[in-house]
Amino acid sequence: GPVVDGEALRDARVHGPVAAAVLDVWEHEPTPDPTLVDAVDLATPHIAGYAYDGKVRGTAMLYEALCEHLGGTAAWEGPAAIEPVSKDKLHCSPPDPRLPDAEWLYQLARQGYDPQTDDAALRAVMDQAAEDRAEAFSGLRSDYRRRRELQQHHVPRTAVPSAHRRAVEAGLTMQLR
């Protein structure tokens, strides 16, 4: 459901103090208001928590709780399903070391997840009629690609400037190898 008054946010973006806005949850899902989508800087189709790793962990938690409730023993090893497969592109290349610190980290993070991809997909369906837009919005969620959490991605330790290593490991949660 909604987490912000869309009309108030649109007004604040035009006339008020809100300099930037990012939304993943929308009023009137699955038919978000195209004018609100247009008013924000980054718009995604309610896909927070849609990373493959989170889905597997959530499924494992439900499975274990159901087994416990029914008095059975859990036999499925959910976390084993999180192991990388060949189609997962988990190796990240270090960005240009001449970039400013924040830009360097941003470019690295985008290799693990680029929100602009989801933003572009959502904006592409906003011109459709409400019924078609609702179907497209739901499709963006139900057909969501296999995206891995940042903690599954790795970058060569020797290629990461020492000043960035803590931010890469603790902030982005990427692995240094």
The percent of residues above 90 in pLDDT, for the chain, comes to: 82
pLDDT at position 125 is: 98
pTM for this prediction: 0.86
Residue pLDDT, tens place only, 2-14: 789 999 999 999 8
Residue pLDDT, tens place only, 140-158: 999 999 999 999 999 999 9
Does domain 44-176 sit in CATH 3.90.1150.10? no
pLDDT at position 81 is: 81
- Report d(CA 95, CA 104) in Å as an integer: 6
49: which residues sit within 8 A by CB, 6+ positions away?
55, 58
- Report d(CA 100, CA 35) in Å as an integer: 34
